[in-house]
Structure 1
């Protein structure tokens, strides 16, 4: 691809300030009644916080000279002032400041004169001592009259403490909590891990496929179609804003570049807290947060899909830029990235053609994340967030349809005559998300968070020859979704050990899916490369979906070892559609279809609930149990598209008598155990889900689209994680996922297995990491995907559940990072052993022209500079 790369823009990564936890399962915050600065020995300065109870702390370095120490479940109760400041306490320390960062947590800021301070934190009979060795002489403490206003911080993946690791999760409960206090399975992929995995692939679905138990393996494409979460479709959020649509396009995870992401929180299993569209769980993408100190970072990359078998054609590059800072009460952030990719090659050296699923080759990707916030008072904040993501693909290779052979599997080959597409609007995805957040940390004793949002997305597929299908044209689908909404959360403490979270959600989504029709004669004469649009029909009719939810959630610390939680949610859907014409003239049975369907609306509501418990067996081991219900609307376009097939009445009218549009209610049962020692952490969980009216996708008779069946559906499985910090140099660990599922279609007495598009094979991820020298680290990671043979089993129509058996495969990746100058140089090799294999998503395709191999050995080279 010959292009002039856009101006270098990248980001600076600063370890982000942690959110201090107002955990609902703890007792009243510990008071800090006095702050003393003492000199102990000849060369040690000690900051002593006088408090009657042990405190939990975690540290975050900011820039090259500042250290934040955040202390959970504490309140300043000083005799003079609401904060303390010590200026120039020694030659090496320029400033020490203690403030009440949040109502139930405080922050200690230590700024070095020239370098990052090194501290040793310990508990003493008087309270918490922060020792600064070799810091020189003592200065005086100066109380400050009011606490300093501060921006909303991000939640780090994990931060070291004197007691081990703290992992904070906001998604499971819509408030900030220690992950160990949540009675269900969660995974947090933090900034450091995202940055490391993006060296291999700058595609968020692939990053999560490698790191999240319960989620299907990487597909190496923009689609997460074969990446279910526990066998069901998850809801995808960006900072709490739902970016997924009722109309599934399976590209929700590719709505933001990894460099704009601070962390990803995954709650596995349905949730009544967030309500709609979360039958498989929730994937909340939390974006980068503004910094108190001006920071900037630039990153340049070559790759990350540079094939050693064809460097010239596979060459790609990217740039990223990050700016953030604070001016008085105002803070800002700008993270922008641009990337171009070339062709992709498999391990046999063959070019990988682009099929129906959008690949990641020949892409131009642009992402910009911008934030502006202001702290009106120490307790009130307003922030505007804008995220814009744009993928455009100009594939010079498309699949050759002549490779289709129903008797055996044949690897997809590109058309020899193909060239770059001549198309006005290139295939890809454009996504815009806006949100305005207001928070008040102490509104009549409660914490209030209010969010208004707007989301607009357009997805365009690659045009194909559909003349042999019901579409009878050279055409492509366009998916358009526009959504507005609001969320209100109020957290109200009822006592020292009882907390109530309550609120409401509202969203209104308008959905369209037109069918672009192209001139067939121009298509034929150009060899399948030129497309001139001549008409537009509908693939599914436009419709609106309005949702409203109200919820309440109680958390109770029943005893020192037992915590209980439970809540209710009321959810209501209203779908409305105008009169529309039916696509096509005859149905699959050869009967004439009515010219028009009379529009109308379908409404339904229900109440779902959840209960959970955690019991601390010891300080290191806890067990949990959880029951949670999810409530979702079916994908209406799959029913409206060919609604006459589902009803016998003529004329056809959209109303509540059409039972296929009933909601999806999923019951989720889960038990698990977690362990957390100084060097070892593990988790093990088992789950079972059941829905009386599930929604399962089946290929249409001619294979040109998917239809939906409403039938009893169940999934079940086991997930496990383990990590071991052998010493300061060596770490190792991994994750394990086994999921299975089946359904009972109408007319079948027993359950039959679900397809591999819905249930992915066993997945095992292993890693070993070594800090080879103080400035050089290396990581090897292994991904094992098992086999799954459902091709010998038949569905209700007598067709194989999978078109072919799913074959197992193994990949090995290597990441090496070296501090070089003021930046970091990273070399990453994907598929180090150059194995020839086919991703699960590719193997599930019924057409051989979609059976595309995975990447062979590819490399990426990145240099990241702080300035």
Structure 2
């Protein structure tokens, strides 16, 4: 966080933020106190009280999720408001560049990863908040979950059947608008039914959310993201069902299924000018959204997911949890202009896997968690091409598909992993833990004609089948990950801990392989292939020192963290080779969260993440590139709750950032007002997001400008933040 003079002024002159923070200095009243921090499974893969975990963890409860979501706060922003180390949201379909502690976060639903070997940043375009029971968060690298968790874990736990006998219903009806015009509207209807009868419980829920146009603080329609796709004119359907059966006092079987479809159907598109005259970087024309967009298959996210869980709390004096899961998903993007062509990619992924976890106490004071994970994944990616002449004469608004080619080689990945975690109570105050995970990964890459050459064949520049395939092949690699730490309980209300843990990133195989140069006769001259350029995982070492306190009036957590990685993958386009090169990156900072009860009715608090991201260049540490570095962030709130009424005023400040090449990320501040009132039947929740109608560019917009501005008009990637927006939600449980 660079507190420049401008930054300091913005912070000091923000009266709402100062007022909120000032409230925390007031004298507070006594309230009934419960020392239970709450249980969390995600941290060490077994149920533990937070006070027993040597890591930065939190549970976002259903009440917190509901308050934000029903007040019109978008899901990615909701998470950023409540998770200290998570970057601010993109306000688009993508969560690209939305890191935790400056690194990649592993996002899961009920313990099932949403990541795949071909990385697509739509992990938060996965579920409607109506179906979320709570969210478990682990900040920082963790050795117990394998690849993709160098920044932390966000595990979304879904709602299940009722705990109370009988049939129960829940309904949501909501709408939101900035009242700019008739296109400025979003609404949702959601209904669930849950039952509990003796040993059986079940829930079925359907949520439908329709979003139309989004408008900035000046009342102009926000330009849609041409690269990662936007969140306007989206129809979202989330159907989720669960069935649980208590086989005996110790055994339970649970099935969960989800169908999720989030598809765009927009009549508005970007006006690129005749023959895309406004698209190049040389154009000074300000592009904008216009009516008349004509595309049959627009951007979409579709997912089918099924999980089966079996648990036995008395399996040979151990607790056993067995999970089987399957996931199919399809991601489609909108056409993107690339100078000589216009095309859109589509990825299909199928995943099957299982997880087996045992928890045991072989001797007094020793707790063991051990097990294994197995997963098989298959993915294919295609590229849809559109007639460039038709698109050109329509200013990029009418798109007619002319054919499909391959985008990347098909990838099949098999992973097997074993792990063990040991916790030992040295005495009543001190606990030490250590863990080890080994993950073996086998990757098979299909033979593949390079994507550019396939487009030549499609466009008639070469006969079909003219170009030879680049040879695929298989690659095997393994990674050992360790963690070690200690937790000391100062008293029943507070603890301190130290933790060292390793994480690793799985390389995106499809993105690297299947490219090369060709001879005039269509034979392969040189290529990046599996045999010559095998890949391996890249490790990150992370340490943290933390303290937390939970008493009758105050709940707070403070952590200092440091992570370092020393390798990256580099592609040499001159000789078509891949190599692991020395590339030291260190990220360190301080994150905190605080909730303070001023009285039984008034609470104030917030969270912050002060972060420094650096890379070593010419022997010196310099700020990491703005396209990937996380800026510091602060949130604050004050809430008041009576029996029938609640209100919350909250603010989020992203701070300025400048990298080693003087590329800037401009900070911004937003304020939201949330309020609810209980009716004789049901409850109404009201919200005003961006209360002060602040004008700003989103974090992803600023990153995208650096990604693409060398070739494209800057205004194509100027995604303004949404202006002041009003929302109303009626919800009832009966």
Pairwise TM-score range, normalised by the shorter structure: 0.7 to 0.9
**Mapped contact 1:354–1:395 kept (Cα < 8 A):** no
**C-alpha distance in 2 between matches for 1:247 and 1:411:** 35
Partner of 2:397: 529
Q: 1:448 to 1:860 in 2, by over 3 A?
A: same
**C-alpha distance in 2 between matches for 1:644 and 1:232:** 34
Partner of 1:330: 200
**C-alpha distance in 2 between matches for 1:718 and 1:697:** 34
Return the match for 1:192 from 44, 55, 63.
63
**C-alpha distance in 1 between matches for 2:34 and 2:721:** 43
After the TM superposition, which residues 237-316 of structure 1 pair with which residues of structure 2 at under 5 Å, given as runs?
237-293=108-164, 294-303=167-176, 306-310=177-181, 312-316=182-186
User: What's the CA shift for 1:692?
Assistant: 2.3
User: What's the CA shift for 1:642?
Assistant: 3.4
Aligned pair 1:379/2:379, yes or no? no
User: What's the CA shift for 1:653?
Assistant: 6.5
The 3-state SS of whatever aligns with 1:691 is strand
Q: Which structure: greater helix fraction?
A: 2
The 3-state SS of whatever aligns with 2:313 is strand
After the TM superposition, which residues 408-427 of structure 1 pair with which residues of structure 2 at under 5 Å, given as runs?
413-416=287-290, 418-423=291-296, 425-427=297-299
The 3-state SS of whatever aligns with 1:523 is helix
**C-alpha distance in 2 between matches for 1:318 and 1:375:** 34
**Mapped contact 1:331–1:374 kept (Cα < 8 A):** yes
After the TM superposition, which residues 724-739 of structure 1 pair with which residues of structure 2 at under 5 Å, given as runs?
724-739=596-611
Partner of 1:349: 219
Aligned pair 1:622/2:495, yes or no? yes
Q: 1:436 to 1:667 in 2, by over 3 A?
A: same
Structure 1 range deviating more: 525-534 or 441-450: 525-534
CA deviation profile, 1:809-854 (whole Å, cap 9, x unmatched): 1111000100012100111000111111111111112242111111
**Mapped contact 2:269–2:293 kept (Cα < 8 A):** no
Q: 1:407 to 1:782 in 2, by over 3 A?
A: farther
**C-alpha distance in 2 between matches for 1:163 and 1:261:** 25
**Mapped contact 1:639–1:708 kept (Cα < 8 A):** no
Return the match for 1:862 from 720, 729, 732.
729
Q: 1:216 to 1:696 in 2, by over 3 A?
A: farther
**Structure ID, larger Rg:** 1
Structure 1 length normalisation: TM-score? 0.74
**C-alpha distance in 1 between matches for 2:105 and 2:390:** 41
**C-alpha distance in 2 between matches for 1:739 and 1:388:** 38
Partner of 2:718: 851
**C-alpha distance in 1 between matches for 2:424 and 2:517:** 51
Partner of 2:665: 806
Return the match for 2:696 from 818, 834, 837.
837
Aligned pair 1:518/2:518, yes or no? no
The 3-state SS of whatever aligns with 2:81 is helix
Gaps of 5+ in 1: 1-159, 587-592, 702-706, 795-799
**Mapped contact 1:225–1:757 kept (Cα < 8 A):** no
Partner of 2:650: 781
**C-alpha distance in 1 between matches for 2:236 and 2:569:** 33
User: What's the CA shift for 1:654?
Assistant: 3.0
Return the match for 1:572 from 440, 446, 451.
440
**Mapped contact 1:475–1:518 kept (Cα < 8 A):** yes
Return the match for 1:676 from 540, 550, 567.
550
Task: Say which structure, 1 or 2, has more relative contact order (CA 8 Å, 6+ apart).
Answer: 2
User: What's the CA shift for 1:751?
Assistant: 4.2
Aligned pair 1:664/2:532, yes or no? no
**C-alpha distance in 2 between matches for 1:161 and 1:237:** 35
User: What's the CA shift for 1:749?
Assistant: 4.0
User: What's the CA shift for 1:223?
Assistant: 1.0
**C-alpha distance in 1 between matches for 2:514 and 2:616:** 24
The 3-state SS of whatever aligns with 1:353 is coil
**Mapped contact 1:203–1:257 kept (Cα < 8 A):** no
CA deviation profile, 1:239-261 (whole Å, cap 9, x unmatched): 01111112111101221111111
**Mapped contact 1:603–1:656 kept (Cα < 8 A):** no
User: What's the CA shift for 1:496?
Assistant: 3.0
Partner of 2:679: 820
**Mapped contact 2:223–2:718 kept (Cα < 8 A):** no
Aligned pair 1:722/2:563, yes or no? no
Q: 1:407 to 1:463 in 2, by over 3 A?
A: closer
Gaps of 5+ in 2: 1-30, 455-465, 519-523
CA deviation profile, 1:187-240 (whole Å, cap 9, x unmatched): 221100100110244642221111101110121122111211111111111101
CA deviation profile, 1:259-284 (whole Å, cap 9, x unmatched): 11111111111111111221221111
CA deviation profile, 1:287-320 (whole Å, cap 9, x unmatched): 01211332211111012xx11333x211221101
**Mapped contact 1:644–1:652 kept (Cα < 8 A):** yes
After the TM superposition, which residues 601-612 of structure 1 pair with which residues of structure 2 at under 5 Å, given as runs?
601-612=474-485
